[in-house]
Amino acid sequence: MRDLPPTATLRAFEVATRHTTFTSAAAELFITQSAVSHQLKKLEEIWGLQLFQRGKNLSLTPAGAALAPLVREFFSKLETTLADLREQKGRVRLRVNTTYSFALKWLLPRLPELARLHPEILVTLESTDQAINFASTDADVAIRFGHGNYPALHTEFMFREQLFPVASPALLQRFGTPREPAELLRYPLLTRDGADLVPKWDVWFKLVGINTEVLHESVRFADTNMTIEAALLGQGIALARSGHVEKELGEGTLVRLFAVPFPSPAAYYFVCPQGIETRPHIVKFRSWLQAESQQAQCSYR
């Protein structure tokens, strides 16, 4: 660009926009007051614009006020990008695609341990509930919830969750703690709307020997996280997947009701394009993921 001035001149302008005198601007830049004045005059000549009203105090002209935030943003982004690149030096980026609820509830709390074990791996998370298509995404690997049918992809089973009812202590105090599964029929039940992979109350009731077509539904939700949040607020009892309520059960903000084994019909799978599973950083990630999955599987039983 013909009108792009030297960086030092731009820096002098950016600093001067935050000061009221050449003297204070010069002090921040560690140069003389006359050097600052010279840089700003040079910039005004290059752009053919008056940028400052000079008097007892510096003040920006309309042109200077319009350009100041652009120059400030330029230096801010430059400094941020340089810091990020220096931090990444010697590290390898791994782009992981998974569902939003799994990333939020299961993967994110475990990532500090991955960073401790493998500081050389820089994970970038992206989330979507759509079927994975590596041809249209920058993701290197993905974690998917389903039945393991991912043609032409390298696929590894991770773990299967347990399904069970959960309620907040406040709701149990209000309604009482159910002593047997049939009593849940008189409680407000939170229902997750959606596909076949979503836990269904009627399936759970059949598992415990109760055939019913009448459920006291409270609200239907299109999102797992909203269902759990409603349970936390005491709005009803949710049929939760174990991996999505680890934190809440540990803190006591949700209580598991009935130790009835009910494995999820779907499971979590690690998938990636064929051939890249042997790359060193992906091998490390897969090994860590499998160790975490085995530990989670044991705790869910």
Q: Which residue has the higher pLDDT, 246 or 89?
A: 246
Residue 255 placed within a domain: yes
Q: Which residue has the higher pLDDT, 198 or 65?
A: 65
Nearest-angstrom CA–CA distance, 141 and 146: 16
Query: CA angle, 136 as apex, 134 and 137 as ends, to 5°?
Result: 65
Question: Which structural domain, as residue segments, surrounds residue 281?
Answer: 90-300
pLDDT, tens digit, for every residue of 157-180?
A: 999 999 999 999 999 999 999 999
Residue 126 placed within a domain: yes
Residue pointed to by tokens 């992979």: 197
Same-domain pairing of 118 and 245: yes
Same-domain pairing of 33 and 175: no
Nearest-angstrom CA–CA distance, 157 and 115: 23
Residue 2 placed within a domain: no
Same-domain pairing of 96 and 210: yes
Same-domain pairing of 171 and 43: no
Of 40-44, 113-117, 214-218, the range with the lowest mean pLDDT is 214-218
Same-domain pairing of 136 and 33: no
Residue 152 placed within a domain: yes
- Report the pLDDT averaged over residues 179-196: 83
Q: Which residue has the higher pLDDT, 193 or 25?
A: 25
Closest residue by Cα to residue 205 from 217, 195, 219, 221: 217
What CATH number should be reported for the domain holding residue 237? Answer: 3.40.190.290
Same-domain pairing of 65 and 109: no
> Domain count of the chain?
2
pLDDT, tens digit, for every residue of 224-244?
A: 888 999 999 999 999 999 999
Separation of first and last alpha carbons in the chain: 65
- pTM here is 0.68
